[in-house]
C-alpha cells in the first residue's frame, strides 16, 4: 500500500498531491527497506545495434564489471555512454532471453513477452497475437496500490493499426489501452477530468493553472512555521514542475489559450510531435510518482514495429522499422538503406537520452526514504527485440537505474548468462518489496513452465 499521500483540496474539487516532506513525516522516519519502491518501464522497439556476425558492437561497454562515469565516457561510440552521468545508479544487463517464439510476427511476439514472460497466443495469431499472462506493472500495482488504482499506462507516437499497444496486460489476452494524449493524462492526474462541463468552462475562461485552484492552501502550507527550508524548496520545485508541464502543453501548440491544450489530442500521433509528447509523458509520470499516485507506470514509444521517422544530425530519416531491417521495406526484400546500422545506433542514442530524462526528473524529486525519488525507484529501459537483423529474442537489452531503496547492486554491467527473462522480472518484483508468503524471494512470475529464480548478481 502507498503509505503517505498528502493532498491539497482546491476549487471545483481539484486535488493536488504533494511530494514527500520531511517536516510533516511521522516522527519515526521510515527506513529505506520499509519503503515500497516505484517501478517505471520504458519500452523501445526494433532492437539495438549490438554485435552480430555482420555488425559491430555499438551499444554495450567493452567489458562487464564495475561501471564508472569515466569508464563509460571513455567509450563514446557506445549508445549506453549517454548515461555516463548515472554510472553508479545503473545496471546494464545482457544475457537475458525471451523464452517463447512469436506467433507469425516477431514484433508482436516480443512486445507481448516484454513485461509478461508469458507465451504468445495462438488465437488470435500473427500481428494480432496477445500475451497469455499479466504484465509486471499490473502485478506491482495490484500488490502495492490501493484497491482499484491501476498502473499509469502511457504511449507516445504514431499508431498505424498494425500492432499498436503491446506492453501492459491485466491478465491473459487482456491488453490494457495506453493513454496517448498527455493533456488527458494530466487532467486525470489532477482530478480535472471529473469537473462538470460548467466548472471546466469557467476554469478555461479564467485560464487558471492547477496551482491557482489550490493557492490558498498552498500559501498556508508554505508559510507554516514547522516547514523546513528544504521542504519549501521541494514544494517550489513541485509547483513549478506542474506549471512547466502546463506551459509545455500550451506553448507546444503556439498559443497561450488553455482551451487549445485539448487540441493536442488530434496531433499527439503526428510524427513530428513524438519527441514533445514523449517529454510530456515523462513529466506526467514523474509527477504521478512524486505524488504517490501509483507505484507502477509504463511508457511505450512507437507502435509494435515503430515506424517513427526520427531526426538524426538534423535530418529526418526513414521509418525506424525500415532502418531496423536495413532496407527500404517493411518486409524481407528492398533497396538497402546506406549506413542503416549507424542510423539505428543514432536512434538508440535518442532512446538513451529519453531514459536519461526520466532519471533527471526522478533525481530532482525527494523520495520517501530521505534520498531522491530515483533512489526509491527502479526504472527499466527494455526492448521488444535484441537487434536489427535478425530481430532475435536472444540477449534482449535491459538497462536498469535507481537503487530500489538499496535492494539492487547498481554500478554494474552484468552478463546474466543466457537466462530467460522471467528471472529479471522476478528480481524487479522483489526489488519493490513483494515476497512469497513465507518471506522468501518471489520467483514464479511468468509462464509456469519457466525455470524459477532471480538474478543474484543484481541483488546486494
CA-based nearest residue to 121, from 71, 49, 169: 169
The Cα–Cα gap between 351 and 433 comes to: 28
Q: At residue 184, what are phi and psi to the nearest 5 degrees? A: -65, -40
Q: DSSP letter at 394?
A: S
Q: What mean pLDDT is predicted for residues 440-460?
A: 97
pLDDT at 167 over 70: yes
379: helix, strand or coil: strand
Pairing between strand 15-17 and 311-312?
A: unpaired
Torsion of CA 149, 151, 152, 158, to 10 degrees: -130
Q: What mean pLDDT is predicted for residues 297-322?
A: 97
pLDDT at 293 over 60: yes
Q: DSSP letter at 190?
A: T
pLDDT confidence tier of residue 108, bands split at 50, 70 and 90: very high
Contact call for residues 328 and 319 (beta carbons, < 8 A) = no
Q: What mean pLDDT is predicted for residues 230-258?
A: 64
Report pLDDT for 11.
56
**Least confident window among 106-110, 172-176, 264-268, 362-366:** 264-268
Question: What pLDDT, in 10s, does the model give residues 321-358?
Answer: 999 999 999 999 999 999 999 999 999 999 999 999 99
The Cα–Cα gap between 297 and 38 comes to: 8
pLDDT confidence tier of residue 127, bands split at 50, 70 and 90: very high
Helix H or strand E segment including 416: strand 412-420
Contact call for residues 306 and 321 (beta carbons, < 8 A) = yes
Contact call for residues 214 and 14 (beta carbons, < 8 A) = yes
Report pLDDT for 249.
62
Dihedral sign, Cα of residue 240, residue 184, residue 42, residue 442: positive
Pairing between strand 65-66 and 412-420?
A: antiparallel
Q: DSSP letter at 435?
A: B
Superfamily of domain 7-17+27-458, CATH level 4: Alkaline Phosphatase, subunit A (3.40.720.10)
Q: Where are the beta strands (DSSP E) in 124-185?
A: 152-156
CA-based nearest residue to 112, from 282, 300, 278: 300
pLDDT at 99 over 60: yes
Backbone region of residue 254 per phi and psi (left: phi > 0; alpha: psi in -120 to 50; beta: other values): left
Question: What pLDDT, in 10s, does the model give residues 20-76?
Answer: 666 555 443 343 445 679 999 999 999 999 999 999 999 999 999 999 999 999 999
Residue spans of alpha helices (H) in 167-228 = 182-189, 197-206, 210-213, 215-222
The Cα–Cα gap between 289 and 152 comes to: 10
Q: What mean pLDDT is predicted for residues 95-99?
A: 98
Residue spans of alpha helices (H) in 269-397 = 274-290, 320-325, 340-364
Q: What mean pLDDT is predicted for residues 311-325?
A: 97
Report pLDDT for 30.
40
Q: What mean pLDDT is predicted for residues 89-96?
A: 98
Q: How large is the angle between the packed helices 422-431 and 136-144, nearest 10 degrees?
A: 20
Distances (CA, A) of 363 to 49, 106, 206, 356: 28, 36, 34, 10
Q: Which three cell numbers stand for residue 177?
A: 489501452
pTM: 0.86
Question: What pLDDT, in 10s, does the model give residues 408-427?
Answer: 999 999 999 999 999 999 99
- What does the domain layout of the chain look like in residue ranges? 7-17+27-458
Q: Which residues contact 223 (CB under 8 A, 6 or more apart)?
A: none
CA-based nearest residue to 181, from 270, 268, 279, 278: 268
Contact call for residues 35 and 369 (beta carbons, < 8 A) = yes
Q: What mean pLDDT is predicted for residues 208-228?
A: 76
Amino acid at each position: 500500500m502507498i503509505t503517505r499521500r498528502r493532498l491539497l483540496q482546491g476549487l471545483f474539487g481539484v486535488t493536488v498531491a504533494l511530494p514527500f516532506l520531511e517536516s510533516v513525516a511521522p516522527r519515526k522516519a521510515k527506513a529505506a527497506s520499509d519503503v515500497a519502491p516505484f517501478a517505471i518501464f520504458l519500452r523501445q522497439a526494433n532492437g539495438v545495434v549490438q554485435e552480430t556476425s555482420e555488425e559491430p558492437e555499438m551499444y554495450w561497454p567493452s567489458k562487464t564489471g564495475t561501471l564508472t562515469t569515466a569508464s563509460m565516457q571513455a567509450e563514446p561510440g557506445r549508445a549506453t555512454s549517454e548515461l555516463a552521468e548515472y554510472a553508479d545508479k545503473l545496471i546494464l544487463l545482457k544475457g537475458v532471453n525471451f523464452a517463447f517464439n512469436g506467433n507469425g510476427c516477431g514484433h508482436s511476439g516480443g512486445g507481448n513477452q516484454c513485461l509478461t514472460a508469458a507465451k504468445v497466443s495462438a488465437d488470435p495469431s500473427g500481428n494480432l497475437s496477445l500475451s497469455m499472462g499479466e504484465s509486471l506493472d499490473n502485478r506491482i500495482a495490484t500488490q502495492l496500490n490501493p484497491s482499484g488504482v491501476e498502473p499509469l499506462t502511457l504511449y507516445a507516437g504514431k499508431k498505424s493499426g498494425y500492432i499498436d499497444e503491446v506492453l501492459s496486460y491485466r491478465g491473459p489476452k487482456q491488453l490494457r489501452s495506453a493513454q496517448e494524449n498527455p493533456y488527458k493524462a494530466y487532467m486525470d492526474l489532477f482530478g480535472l477530468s471529473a469537473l462538470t462541463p460548467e466548472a471546466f468552462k469557467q476554469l478555461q475562461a479564467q485560464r487558471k493553472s492547477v496551482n491557482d485552484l489550490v493557492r490558498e492552501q498552498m500559501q498556508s502550507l508554505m508559510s507554516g512555521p514547522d516547514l523546513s527550508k528544504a521542504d519549501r524548496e521541494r514544494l517550489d520545485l513541485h509547483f513549478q514542475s506542474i506549471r512547466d508541464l502546463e506551459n509545455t502543453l500550451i506553448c507546444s501548440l503556439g498559443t497561450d489559450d488553455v482551451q487549445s491544450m485539448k487540441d493536442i489530442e488530434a496531433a499527439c500521433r503526428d510524427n513530428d510531435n513524438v519527441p514533445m509528447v514523449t517529454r510530456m509523458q515523462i513529466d506526467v509520470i514523474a509527477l504521478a510518482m512524486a505524488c504517490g499516485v501509483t507505484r507502477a507506470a509504463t511508457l511505450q514509444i512507437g507502435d509494435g514495429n515503430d515506424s517513427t521517422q526520427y531526426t538524426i544530425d538534423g535530418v529526418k530519416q526513414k521509418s525506424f522499422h525500415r532502418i531496423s531491417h536495413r532496407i527500404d521495406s517493411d518486409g524481407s526484400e528492398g533497396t538497402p538503406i546506406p549506413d542503416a546500422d549507424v542510423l539505428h545506433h543514432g536512434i538508440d542514442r535518442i532512446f538513451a537520452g529519453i531514459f536519461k530524462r526520466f532519471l533527471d526528473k526522478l533525481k530532482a524529486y525527494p523520495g520517501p526514504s530521505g534520498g531522491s525519488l530515483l533512489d526509491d525507484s527502479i526504472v527499466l529501459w527494455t526492448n521488444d527485440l535484441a537487434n536489427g537483423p535478425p530481430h532475435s529474442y536472444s540477449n534482449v537489452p535491459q538497462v536498469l537505474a535507481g537503487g530500489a531503496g538499496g535492494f539492487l547492486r547498481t554500478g554494474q554491467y552484468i552478463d546474466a548468462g543466457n537466462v530467460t527473462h522471467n528471472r529479471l522480472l522476478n528480481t524487479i518484483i522483489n526489488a519493490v518489496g513483494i515476497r512469497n508468503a513465507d518471506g522468501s524471494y518471489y520467483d514464479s512470475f511468468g509462464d509456469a513452465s519457466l525455470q524459477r529464480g532471480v538474478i543474484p548478481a543484481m541483488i546486494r
